[in-house]
Structure 1
Amino acid sequence: MSTKNYLSKLADWSQDQAVSIAAADGIELNAEHIQVLDAARVFYDQYGFSPSMRPLCKTVAEHCGLEKGRSIYLLQLFPGSPAKLVARYAGLPKPKNCL
């Protein structure tokens, strides 16, 4: 069902599953995290691929407000590599430009 913790089928995703995967990484998801995951899933539905960092920032700004669309905000929520972590937790494929 998953390769390297990225879901192979978008329909397999659930919020409980996201919480579980994030907890294994030491991140406790809250409502702000879920807002970002939902925005990323909307992006995927619209464009057919997972957003890398710049498109993720823009999408989050559009869906959650300008202050939340800043990379520093996303780094605080998803330390290290926000685009990769958001994709994993949102049940999306790994973004193409992320190492």
Structure 2
Amino acid sequence: MPELEVKGKKLVLDEDGFLQDWEQWDKDVAEALANDDRFTGSKVELTEAHWEVVNFLREFYEEKGVAPPIRQLIKEMKKRFGPEKGNQEYLYQLFPQGPAKDACRIAGLPKPTGCV
């Protein structure tokens, strides 16, 4: 299993770069995951807009116990933030490697169902 070291802590990841234990997540872990290009081939520089999505995903997961697939993510983002942020184009601009998969990975959540 791949590992990620953050501030002296070794975190276990699955083969796709997702944390094995979502409760080990914090903002430092998110930054490290965003800067780890082993799994996506690119890094994500987290902006306020990225954090909005990441925090939304964590709240969603805490409430529902599941990471949303892309269609549900778009629908729920639209409800919360309006159509300018709740659409596929906006989310792909933030997370070009796949908004549901990459955003969930950075948020420390399990891989959403339906993600390859």
Give TM-score scaled by structure 1 length.
0.90
Do the aligned partners of 1:6 and 1:94 also contact (CA within 8 Å) in 2?
yes
Identity percentage of aligned residues: 39
Partner residue of 2:98?
Answer: 81
Give the TM-score of the pair, scaled to structure 2: 0.78
Give the number of equivalent residue pairs: 99
Alignment-mate amino acid for residue 110 of structure 2 = P
RMSD: 1.3
Q: Distance in 2 between matches of 1:71 and 1:2?
A: 27
In the alignment, is the contact (CA less than 8 A) between 1:35 and 1:64 conserved in 2? Answer: no
Structure 1: distance between partners of 2:51 and 2:32: 13
Consecutive unaligned residues of structure 2, counting only runs of 5 or more, are 1-11, 38-42
Q: Which runs of 4+ in 1 moved over 6 A?
A: none
| 1:13-66: CA deviation from partner (whole Å, max 9, x where unpaired) | 111111111122321011100100111111111211111101111222233333
- AA paired with 1:3? D
Displacement after TM superposition at 1:12 (Å):
0.6
Describe the SS at the equivalent of 2:112: coil
Which structure features the higher share of helix residues?
A: 1
**Which ranges of structure 1 fall in alignment gaps of 5 or more residues?**
none
